[in-house]
């Protein structure tokens, strides 16, 4: 049973690991990233997990959407990538709740 309020976006099959916990995983490329993301926002998906691979594209789209939802969580989905995901998660939680939990 998939959770329709959460979706994970990645650039390779590693995103399918989220299916094991009921989160839809979608493989996308840079060309389709913005269109897919806008479709998910239109569908009122509350939490969107995004591969760190798309960090720059995500920042461009986030400038257009200042609402509390969706919450974007950037995660490292490739072994060996440098990750600033914890800092990004802290910022997103603070934006959504107004509280700095870390």
Its domain, for residue 41, covers 3-97
In a domain, 46, yes or no: yes
The pLDDT tens digits of the residues spanning 45-67 come to: 999 999 988 888 888 888 887 77
In a domain, 67, yes or no: yes
In a domain, 102, yes or no: no
- The domain total for the chain is 1
In a domain, 28, yes or no: yes
Confirm if 56 and 45 have CB atoms less than 8 A apart: no
The model's pTM is 0.75
Helix/strand/coil percentages in the chain, nearest 5: 45, 25, 30
CATH number for the domain harbouring residue 47: 3.40.50.10580
The pLDDT tens digits of the residues spanning 22-44 come to: 999 999 999 999 999 989 988 99
In a domain, 16, yes or no: yes
Question: In the numeric block, which tokens belong to residue 86?
Answer: 């914890």
């Amino acid at each position: 049973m998939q959770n329709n309020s959460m979706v994970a976006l990645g650039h390779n099959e590693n995103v399918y690991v989220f299916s094991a916990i009921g989160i839809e995983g979608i493989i996308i490329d840079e060309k389709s990233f913005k269109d897919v993301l806008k479709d998910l926002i239109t569908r009122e998906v509350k939490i969107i997990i995004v591969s760190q691979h798309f960090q720059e594209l995500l920042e461009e789209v986030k400038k257009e959407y200042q609402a509390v939802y969706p919450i974007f969580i950037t995660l490292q989905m490739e072994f060996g990538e440098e990750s600033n995901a914890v800092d990004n998660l802290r910022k997103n939680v603070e934006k959504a709740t107004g509280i700095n939990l870390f």
